[in-house]
């Protein structure tokens, strides 16, 4: 306001109306990206039905993740969450939010809720629906949990790291669909994925292991939005949560390593098959050596009509 008063916001039932409005906005933006960008590229590439579906999925997610990474980075920098990591747990619970933080969370919830009807509009194959539903549900649970349980600052940093890795993955898939021999971006994604996993695990340990147990208000107070600090004061509960987090991150890394090993194995098998095919082609293209002269009735004759074999001289 004019007198310098800082206006902050709290969540409530009216958020549902706002989320519903932005669901329709997300559906419109989804259609615009599909019609004016992805469909035009698909006509030029002539992809198969399976690749066509994956190309559309990655194209939409590249646009969303790129926008979300820029927006989330702007929010965490302007709010000072990166410059001051202690702000992630200080003065917990963070019940009142700045406008840009609240608006960011509402838009994120709207996007992932709009992805449910898009499964029907995009005519996604039945085999792909369980995987996409699982992905949508995980995002909704984590974003809504951070928003309702007043862990919005921690949630912003985790979303930034997750979206950054996802952006490089889907960008690598788009480049791969246009040129199957170009897999350099997958190597970039592998590095970014490992780095973001390490940062995520470090952040969990820092906030859960050292930050929340030192909050001044350790009593359970749902009316004031304090749901966790009294639990993290118990070292047994705190260690159990950290163990679950480490196991989950380890399972993610194991799937990632398994995926990389399978990709490298397929790559080397493809390279070896190409080398064998090239060697066979060279052998077939190698000219056959023939004896001088020509063949007549199965007998090799010299150019002057005589046999090329040396005649034995009879002794007198």
pLDDT digits (tens, 9 = 90+) for 141-187: 999 999 988 889 999 999 999 999 999 999 999 998 888 777 788 88
Using 50, 70 and 90 to split pLDDT, how confident is the model at 139? very high
Q: Does residue 311 have a pLDDT over 70?
A: no
Among the listed ranges 57-61, 92-96, 153-157, 250-254, which one has the minimum average pLDDT value?
Answer: 92-96
Q: Does residue 191 have a pLDDT over 90?
A: yes
Q: Quote the strand ranges of 109-174, DSSP E.
A: none
Kindly state whether residue 316 falls inside one of the protein's structural domains.
no
Phi/psi for 90 (5° steps) reads -65, 145
Kindly state whether residue 282 falls inside one of the protein's structural domains.
no
Q: How many structural domains comprise the chain? A: 1
The residue whose two tokens read 């082609």 is: 281
CA separation for the pair 62, 56 (Å, rounded)? 10
Query: What is the three-class DSSP state of 219?
Result: coil
User: pTM value?
Assistant: 0.80
Using 50, 70 and 90 to split pLDDT, how confident is the model at 309? low
Kindly state whether residue 191 falls inside one of the protein's structural domains.
yes
Kindly state whether residue 301 falls inside one of the protein's structural domains.
no
Q: Does residue 314 have a pLDDT over 50?
A: no
Among the listed ranges 28-32, 58-62, 284-288, which one has the minimum average pLDDT value?
Answer: 284-288
Query: Counting beta carbons within 10 angstroms of the beta carbon of residue 270, is it exposed (0 to 12), middle (13 to 18) or buried (19 or more)?
Result: exposed
Q: Does residue 297 have a pLDDT over 90?
A: no
Tokens linked to 233: 């004061």
Kindly state whether residue 308 falls inside one of the protein's structural domains.
no
Query: What is the three-class DSSP state of 14?
Result: helix
Which of 76-85, 235-244, 268-277 is predicted most confidently?
A: 76-85
Using 50, 70 and 90 to split pLDDT, how confident is the model at 279? confident
DSSP 234: S
Find the distance separating the first CA and the last CA of the chain, reported in whole Å.
132
Say what the pLDDT of residue 44 is.
87
Report the 10 Å Cβ neighbour count for 23: 19
Say what the pLDDT of residue 170 is.
94
CA separation for the pair 108, 138 (Å, rounded)? 13
Using 50, 70 and 90 to split pLDDT, how confident is the model at 223? low
Q: Does residue 288 have a pLDDT over 80?
A: no
Phi/psi for 221 (5° steps) reads -145, 80
Q: What is the mean pLDDT of residues 84-92?
A: 84
Per the structure, the complete domain to which residue 232 belongs is given by: 8-274
Distances (CA, A) of 158 to 3, 135, 202, 292: 35, 16, 11, 79
Say what the pLDDT of residue 199 is.
93
Report the 10 Å Cβ neighbour count for 118: 18
Kindly state whether residue 266 falls inside one of the protein's structural domains.
yes
Print burial letters for 176-202: b (CB count within 10 Å at least 16), e (below 16).
Answer: bbeeeeeeebbeebbebbeebbeebbe
Kindly state whether residue 63 falls inside one of the protein's structural domains.
yes
């Amino acid at each position: 306001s004019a007198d310098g008063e800082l206006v902050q916001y709290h969540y409530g039932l009216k958020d549902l109306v706002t989320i519903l409005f932005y669901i329709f906005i997300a559906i419109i933006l989804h259609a615009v990206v599909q019609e004016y960008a992805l469909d035009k590229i698909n006509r030029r590439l002539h992809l198969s039905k399976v690749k066509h579906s994956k190309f559309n999925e990655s194209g939409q997610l590249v646009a969303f993740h790129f926008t979300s990474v820029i927006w989330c980075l702007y929010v965490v920098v302007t709010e000072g969450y990166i410059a001051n990591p202690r702000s992630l747990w200080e003065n917990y619970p963070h019940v009142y939010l700045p406008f840009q933080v609240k608006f960011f969370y509402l838009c994120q919830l709207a996007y992932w809720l709009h992805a449910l009807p898009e499964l029907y509009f995009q005519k996604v194959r039945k085999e792909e629906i369980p995987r996409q539903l699982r992905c949508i549900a995980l995002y909704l649970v984590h974003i809504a949990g951070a928003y309702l349980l007043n862990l919005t600052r921690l949630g912003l940093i985790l979303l930034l790291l997750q979206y950054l890795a996802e952006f490089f993955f889907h960008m690598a898939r788009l480049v791969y669909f246009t040129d199957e021999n170009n897999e350099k971006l997958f190597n970039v994604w592998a590095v970014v994925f490992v780095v973001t996993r390490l940062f995520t695990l470090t952040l969990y340990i820092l906030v859960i292991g050292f930050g929340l147990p030192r909050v001044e208000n350790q009593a359970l107070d749902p009316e004031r939005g304090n749901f966790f600090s009294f639990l993290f004061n118990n070292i047994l509960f705190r260690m159990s949560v950290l163990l679950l987090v480490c196991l989950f991150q380890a399972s993610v890394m194991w799937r990632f390593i398994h995926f990389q090993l399978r990709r490298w194995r397929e790559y080397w098998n493809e390279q070896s098959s190409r080398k064998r095919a090239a060697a066979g082609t060279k052998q077939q293209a190698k000219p056959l050596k023939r004896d001088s002269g020509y063949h007549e009735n199965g007998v090799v004759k010299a150019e002057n009509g005589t046999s090329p074999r040396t005649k034995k001289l009879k002794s007198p």
